Amino acid sequence: MKAIINGRFIVPDKAGRFAVEEGLALFFDETIQKICPAASVSEAERAALEACIDARGAYVAPGFLNVHIHGCVGADTMDDTPEAIRKMQRFQARTGVTSFLPTTMTYDFPTLERAFRHVREAMAREEGARVLGCHMEGPFISPAKKGAQAEKNIAKADFEKIAPYEDIVKIITVAPEELHDQGKFIADCHERGIVVSLGHTAADYETARQAIEQYGAKHITHLFNAMTGLHQRHPGVVGAALDTDANCELIVDNVHIHPAVQRLVYRLKKDHLILITDSLRACGLGDGPSELGGQKVFVKGTLATLEDGTIAGSVLCMNDGLRIFRENTGAPIEEVIEAVTKTPAAELGLYDKLGSLSVGKNADITIFDNALNVQRTIVAGRDAWHA
């Protein structure tokens, strides 16, 4: 048994909302065993500990979930080698992420199937951050809003193609106007526990709202990016997202979303926000040329673009994104943390296992300072990374 003391613990209150509490002690092995006032811990309990971690006033939070990430440190989900996701696991832990969904691109199905097999292998591996499955971004998207996806690989939605991988695919991004099936594809996904997300879509407001309200596609892939925008007479996919209880991803690097827009979305959607990185293999490598989906990418500072200037994902690390979002919105730290823990875990049907510091849940814990610098990341009770 191990324990953490002297931290500012971000824990659920009686109503289930996150709050900051001090003066606690958290006991854990692979799961969280006890959370109690530190003053009530006996000398015998302290002596029996395998280790006692002194947080020294830092925040102690549930580990972060990243539900949309293509790559980092030179590795990409689409690389046909198990070492790629292993590199991602190790680096994600450095950024406070304890669980993530490696995200595929719009490729032909033989290539996608190779990626799925590598994800399946990684799900059984205990190294760095935990792999929960994958986010399948394409190929069932709109050519008109392909963004940095390769148009030649865009395909008509066919559930039979992903059925053999229903244990792996946890989120799938689709363009609802391309389905033409009265919600059958979305229903097939829901029956297998796959979250359907609207993204890379030219849908109008009515089509998007029908997919959300009637068919149940209550997730939005990188809100504002690669979709119809908000216009006073044509609300678009953005309008449907803001006008419903859909969970909305935001890439908070100040490149994809202006700080003012981040503030507006926070006020409207704070209970339905999921902060993501959408990072490329260039993340963690600095400026220079890179690659995404077989296309050349050029990175300068926080901006990554294709040769034609199209924004191509991000080079954002999760802890940096949380810091940026907190600075832009003034949101309390506990609400920022909910957007990368409780909200995505609940959507994936995993909140009984992870997503909060609660007795019985996985001991997935991130310790960080006021500036969101990660000091230690713990996954299922094991040290995944520490400064």
> So where are the chain's domains?
2-61+353-386, 64-347
pTM over 0.85, yes/no: yes
**Is 64-347 in CATH node 3.20.20.140?**
yes
What distance in Å separates the CA atoms of residue 107 and residue 369, rounded to the nearest whole number? 40
List the chain residues with pLDDT less than 70.
Answer: none
pLDDT at 192: 96
The rounded mean pLDDT for the chain is: 96
pLDDT at 265: 98
Question: Which residues have C-beta within 8 Å of that of residue 19, sequence separation ≥ 6?
Answer: 10, 11, 12, 13, 334
136, amino acid identity:
M
- Residue 278 appears among annotated catalytic residues: yes
CATH class of 2-61+353-386: mainly beta
Question: Which residues have C-beta within 8 Å of that of residue 282, sequence separation ≥ 6?
Answer: 71, 288, 290, 297, 299, 304, 315
pLDDT at 76: 96
pLDDT at 301: 87
For 303-315, write each residue's pLDDT tens digit. Answer: 888 888 888 879 9
pLDDT at 374: 98
pLDDT at 373: 98
Residue 41 neighbours by CB distance under 10 Å:
18
- Of 76, 188, 253, 278, which residue is the catalytic one? 278
Q: Do domains 2-61+353-386 and 64-347 have the same CATH topology?
A: no
307 sits in which H/E element: none
Structure tokens of 296? 């050349």
For 119-150, write each residue's pLDDT tens digit. Answer: 999 999 999 999 999 999 999 999 999 988 88
Largest separation between any pair of C-alpha atoms in the chain = 68
Cβ-contact 215, 187 below 8 angstroms: yes
pLDDT at 232: 97
Instruction: Name the phi and psi angles at 269, rounded to 5.
Output: -130, 20
